[in-house]
Amino acid sequence: MKFVTVLLFTIVVGAIGNWQQLGPNGAAITALTSIPNYPDELYIAVGNFPTLIFHTTDAGISWTTPETIPDIITALTINPNNVRTLYAAGKTGAFTKAPTPGQPGRWSQICLRHTTSG
């Protein structure tokens, strides 16, 4: 499987055509999702195995210390009814992270990939 390295860029206001790198330096992004009604927040999945999940709340100026999911994550999405619940899908299954009041959430595997023989 090939991954394309994607860098997150933004146009600097007032300087049309000038771009500024905003993502983790040199990261191969395998999935990303934004948060509805929170335009400055973004989650990205980086790397192969294990996948690192980065989060920004300031439009990419800074990124959280990565969290690790023991899988090759290829899709991320937010629960539209609870934007603090994140879902990740990978090669071996699906994961969710939902914070509890006063504590950060932890990643939990919610299903395994179904395989058939034959």
Tens-place pLDDT, residues 24-59: 766 788 899 998 888 899 899 988 888 988 888 998
> What's the pTM value of the predicted model, to 2 decimals?
0.72
Q: Are 55 and 64 in contact (CB under 8 A)?
A: yes
Q: How confident is the model at residue 100 (pLDDT cuts 50, 70, 90)?
A: low
How confident is the model at residue 96, as a pLDDT? 86
Confidence of residue 4 (pLDDT cuts 50, 70, 90): very low
- The closest of 115, 78, 77 to 93, measured between CA atoms, is 115
DSSP state of 112: E
Cα distances from 64 to residues 4, 52, 54, 81, 87, in angstroms, run 22, 11, 6, 24, 18
pLDDT at 81 over 50: yes
- Picking from 23-27, 60-64, 76-80, which range would have the lowest pLDDT averaged per residue? 23-27
31 and 88 in contact (C-beta within 8 Å)? Answer: yes
Side chain identity, residue 52: L
Residue type, 18: N
